[in-house]
Amino acid sequence: MAYVKKVHRFSDCGSNMGAGDRSEGSLTQHVRQVTCGACKARILNVIAQMDWEKLPNELRIELSNIAVNLALG
């Protein structure tokens, strides 16, 4: 089975991005395309540590929609 490269958001990701076939390091600016768990966790950690009132309104709406979808399972 062929290894599928992870898509990263951060060039300094600590998820062995420079090792083996990840050396090309697929990067994206689009959060929906990120497949690297370490990059996803880093994004979520930044959001979790922010003052929610300072988040852009569009992001608060999106997070609210995500929360509803998770609750509905």
Distant-in-sequence, close-in-space partners of 47: CB < 8 Å, separation ≥ 6:
55, 59, 63
pLDDT in tens, 31-56: 889 988 889 999 999 888 999 889 89
Mean pLDDT rounded to a whole number for the chain:
82
pLDDT for the residue 18: 54
pLDDT for the residue 70: 92
pLDDT for the residue 14: 67
CA angle 3, 31, 16 (to 5 degrees): 40
Q: What percent of the chain has pLDDT over 70?
A: 79
Q: Report the predicted TM-score, pTM, of the whole model to 2 decimal places.
A: 0.67
